Amino acid sequence: MQLDKLRLDLRPRSNAQGLDLGFSLLHAGGADVWRAWMALWLPLSALAVLLSWYNPDLALGWLLPWWLRPLLERAPLHVLARQVFGEQASWRDALRAWPRELGGGWFRMLTWWRPFMAGRGLHQPVWVLERARGKVATARRATIARNGTGGAALMFGSMCASFEFVLMMGVLALLGLFMPGETANPFALLTLTNQGPLQAALGTAAWCLACAIIGPIYTACTFTLYLNRRATLEAWDLEIVLRQLRPPARPAAARQAAAVLMAAPLLAMALLGMPPPVQAAGPAAGAKSVATDCAPPEGLTKQDSGRGPDRSPQQAALRRQLDQVFAHQDLRGYRCGEQWELRVPPAAEKEKEKPKSPPLLPRWMVAILAGGFKVTLIAGAVALVAWLLWRYAAPLRFNFAAAAEPKLATEVGGLDIREESLPADVAGAVRALWQQGQQRAALALLYRATLSRLVSRQSLKLHHGATEGECLAQARSAHAAGALDSASLALADQATTLWLNAAYGARWPAAESVAALCTRWQAHFDREAA
């Protein structure tokens, strides 16, 4: 790796700081990262939504993109790895290189690692960037995952999966709020009946949208966690500083050869008695010589700063030897040189000669126009949001009026209790059904006729969606309040008991009990009608 081109300030950090570095990396140059991810994820998401629509009973919709997701994460990793080292890799380059980067670890990613390895992003660079395979890759992954790094990646992957679930439920709840209904219900999509294809398609689309948002974040953060671990293991921060100290010195043999070549003409002229060569003319007019200061920088002037007195002759001799070593040209830490530069750069001279054109508008007018545009834009955005809330969020408005009366029930447990749905002679119809062997239909008719009489003739308030037990409890409350007589309550209690035992327990009563109940029912409710 060319560490001198590294654009990140890599130093030993904690695992949490290494993960947080991924957000900064994605924020600095994440456009191509998002494009590379979306170019692969969106077509697969569209296919998943279609599968969910045509096969709502199967899990093929979300299962396909979930299963192939580890392979798709290698495209944004390609862009991130090159941006870190100063290369400009576009999303098109990532797509072209993506098929070649699928090798290494793909079988593991798609089989036993897929349901359990949420920290796979930490190990992707081992296969994709280091090109490690087999036992080498296994040892390398074990080294990278030590010191709590593997646990941090696993925890971060689990958190990303939780955020995806939260985003998916948020999208479904937002869609549910705008569905038609009496009240705002964020779970309206989940309670639809006979809408299996729509529910499956919307659920898959919401999950794919959540993954489209979290996917690049997961890849970037686990990649910087990998870089942080490598920087700690290989001391990248020290290596970068050492490389920036000074360029490597030329070999001693090369320096000696250059000195001999430079001294050879002077030696020949001295032997022949020729005068030394005249120095060549200086640089062009207007140039000046700028010589760097050959004095050692501050802090290097006294190599014995901070030293105490010599405690022995051996220590003094050792210090003199060290001073001689550090005085060598290769260890000075600085170099002397001379360079020529123009007093005024040519570009600056051209800028001076070029006449400046007057601005089209004065500054005060530009400031007024910019301020007016800003105020107009903000006012338009506020007006648009207010209009959307007024137009589409009517269920969310506050209503301080009195609550409307609850809608009375017209059916209980799937049984129609409207009076017009009953025969004229209920008791006779029940007996006829029982003699024909239709016991369930007979008891159902008797039960719903009883509730219909209580609602229509004795004003028993049964709410829409009430169960059999809630209806009986409401009848007992009405009897306790004096709104229902004891005979009606007894008939309702017996009819409800017979219906529950038969409908849910397959315990059928005797024919004599049904006949006696029909006689009592007819005597009580038909007498009221008369």
Residue 443 belongs to some domain of the structure: yes
Residue 349 belongs to some domain of the structure: no
Task: Give me the DSSP letters along 366-410.
Answer: HHHHHHHHHHHHHHHHHHHHHHHHHHH-GGGS---SPPPPPPBPS
Select from 215, 244, 273 the last residue of a domain: 244
Residue in this structure with the two tokens 């600056």, named with its chain if needed: 348
Give 463's DSSP letter: B
pLDDT score, position 197: 78
Q: Which domain, by its residues, includes 114?
A: 3-244
Residue 138 belongs to some domain of the structure: yes
pLDDT score, position 283: 46
How many domains does the chain divide into? Answer: 2
Q: What is the spatial distance between Cα 212 and Cα 204, in angstroms, rounded to a whole number?
A: 12
Residue 66 belongs to some domain of the structure: yes
What the block records as the tokens of 235 is 């001391």
Residue 290 belongs to some domain of the structure: no
Select from 217, 244, 271 the last residue of a domain: 244
Q: 449 φ, ψ to 5°?
A: -70, -35
Q: What is the spatial distance between Cα 418 and Cα 488, in angstroms, rounded to a whole number?
A: 18
pLDDT score, position 331: 63
Q: Assess contact for 266 and 274: CB atoms under 8 A.
A: no
Residue 362 belongs to some domain of the structure: no
Q: Determine the straight-line distance between the first and last CA of the chain, rounded to whole angstroms.
A: 100
Residue 261 belongs to some domain of the structure: no
Select from 227, 244, 261 the last residue of a domain: 244
Task: Give the residue from 214, 204, 213, 210 showing the smallest Cα distance to 48.
Answer: 204
HEC secondary structure over 199-261: HHHHHHHHHHHHHHHHHHHHHHHHHHHHHHHHHHHHCHHHHHHHHHHCCCCCCHHHHHHHHHH
CB count in 10 Å sphere of residue 119 = 22
HEC secondary structure over 121-143: HHCHHHHHCCCCCHHHHHHHHHH
HEC secondary structure over 473-524: HHHHHHHHCCCCCHHHHHHHHHHHHHHHHHHHHCCCCCHHHHHHHHHHHHHH
Q: What is the spatial distance between Cα 361 and Cα 365, in angstroms, rounded to a whole number?
A: 6
pLDDT in tens, the chain (530 residues): 555 566 666 677 788 888 888 888 888 877 888 888 899 989 998 998 888 888 776 656 778 888 888 998 888 888 888 888 767 778 888 888 888 888 888 888 888 888 888 888 888 888 888 888 888 888 888 888 888 888 888 899 999 999 999 998 888 888 877 776 666 667 777 666 666 677 788 888 888 999 999 989 999 899 888 888 887 877 655 555 555 555 554 555 555 555 544 544 444 444 444 444 444 444 444 444 444 445 655 554 544 445 777 778 888 887 887 777 777 666 666 666 777 766 666 665 565 555 666 666 677 777 888 888 888 889 888 888 888 877 766 555 545 444 455 556 677 766 777 777 778 788 888 888 888 888 888 888 888 888 888 887 777 777 766 777 888 888 888 888 888 788 888 888 888 888 888 877 788 888 888 888 888 888 887 765 55
pTM, entire model: 0.47
Q: Which amino acid is at 168?
A: M
- Which residues on adjacent β-strands are paired with residue 238? none
Task: In the chain, count H helices and then E strands.
Answer: 20, 4
Residue 139 belongs to some domain of the structure: yes
Query: Which CA distances in Å does 401 have to 114, 182, 272, 406?
Result: 55, 15, 119, 15
